[in-house]
Amino acid sequence: MLEAFIFATILCGFFGIILKKNLVMKIVSMDVMSTGAIAYYVLIASRDGLFTPIVSSVKNVAYSDPVPQAVILTAIVIGFSIQALMLVGVMKLARNNPTLESSEIEKSNTP
């Protein structure tokens, strides 16, 4: 059931990118889609009964792998930086155009 909600989140973000005409809403939709993708990765990577790799006297214990955590943290940071860069681009477009609708910007900037 949780996987269905995560896929619905990804699809909502995907269709928001395609269907919305406002550039800020496209950026928000991309963030929703990336959040869904990260949530799906966390859902798949999570398992019960794993311990952190700490030195102890217990032998033959299933340790958790720290690599997926590092990948997710990297994806979050890269997603945040891309979102900030896109918002700066939209701010520069807003200085020259009275609207943030993509079709109006294309009409005004076409020779």
Helices then strands, each counted (H, E), the chain = 4, 0
Number of domains in the chain: 1
Give 20's strand partners.
Answer: none
Residue 27 domain-assigned (yes or no)? yes
Residue 81 domain-assigned (yes or no)? yes
Q: What is the pLDDT of residue 23?
A: 92
Residue 10 belongs to domain spanning: 2-98
Q: What is the pLDDT of residue 56?
A: 67
Q: What is the pLDDT of residue 50?
A: 65
Give per-10-residue mean pLDDT for the chain (111 aa).
94 95 94 94 75 68 75 93 94 87 81 71
Q: What is the pLDDT of residue 18?
A: 95
Q: What is the pLDDT of residue 109?
A: 73
Residue 109 domain-assigned (yes or no)? no
What CATH number is attached to the domain comprising 24? Answer: 1.10.287
Residue 110 domain-assigned (yes or no)? no
Residue 103 domain-assigned (yes or no)? no
